[in-house]
Chain A
């Protein structure tokens, strides 16, 4: 399918801890600008595909109030209650079906609407009421358990994980939209307050407000946009078991499955050689290391050594998260869509100060669900 779908317009909000404008205003702004970027009018849009969670937006059906600013009035609109990367995947399917020439894809979160700590309760309520919820599990704890098992199994050190934070926070300094814009040292990370062993405060992302929108289009429209089109060469997503006790926590099997589908579609056999940059969902520092392995950037158990080698730094073989990633900017549901947007900016040479030189092929990744249960991977290319 490599030549049929492309991202032709992108807009992101500035990401901050607490935006004073309403969620509707944040959404309208990015949609308006994404259309401008794609040189389209709202009347040209044939379908709208949204990624949003009621549980984060604090609404019964969030799109009752957010579909309008997302341009869905009298449009063919479907919302997925998943990370925004999954909305992008559904949009691609809709275009491939031949029914639509384009889709406006939007995802957002205004985490500031929750009191501090409430989001952990929201996550706890995602666990089943019988077995897991009484353990007071939440997303942070679920990632901590994974990190701990990964750490013990392969001898990964906290210092190696801290390097992920140092790298991504330094990269964020070059991204004007980033929420956290301050460099940290390995020592800062190691000495930051404990959260859930082995994760410390700086191993975890902030909670951010913001939104991301993009126009995905078919070949005809994308050709008109020439160099601004980021071609979707491959995409795949997969789902693991919900029960943490039923899976090998030190491996991200649904990410491996998603990546292998996307690689196969894109004809990629050696990802570390063929990819020029990756924007991945670094929901924790440890998670980024595990993702290197699941994506096949390095062999199993070598994530720690891989970051140490500098391969994923801005000047390495595959710079990972030049934008600063989720560890610098975390509007919950929108994180995966932002990764797709950033990868598209990289392949079209529009990433500004955090542009990696000479990018031809980029990978983007988004997570949905606790302990990274579902994962979605996109491969984008500069060339059709």
Chain B
């Protein structure tokens, strides 16, 4: 009598499940192969051939192991986060920044709102392009199964990244000034924060979010893929 459980265990080595759950999967697959082999024996096949054909029914054992793991565990949280958040987020950031760099290379000058030392610089063509990038991020995140909140977070990711950079930059430069003995002008820092916050974070963030919201409204209004998908 062939030890089907041992044969399956050997082939599914590396199936990282709780011991009891793993034993159940192995026993179940082994029982399936045993039934299949017996049927082939009844049809007149030699034992060797029946075993070989039964084992080959699994196809790629590594693929089977991966599929079982995914089905049992669900998709790994980290994988999901990468596909739904980080990849679309950084893609949105990189593309929007590349577009800004390209515009600057072609000689785009920022539009100055409020003159004087408190002037806010707005790159109008770039700002007008941001809803598209926000929509793109939302589309990719939603396509990867991201929730509404994640998809909208992705849409404003470039503005959040810039906010983070600003928040990090000012304490850093203040520390440098303290070390070098130069007086830190906190009122000036506050003005710069506010000015750049408007031009680089608030306005772009609003433009990105508008694109994200539009994309989300558009794609969620479409009929569920479930009713038409045949894959």
Q: Are A and B part of the same complex? A: no
A residues contacting B by CB (< 8 A) are none
B residues contacting A by CB (< 8 A) are none
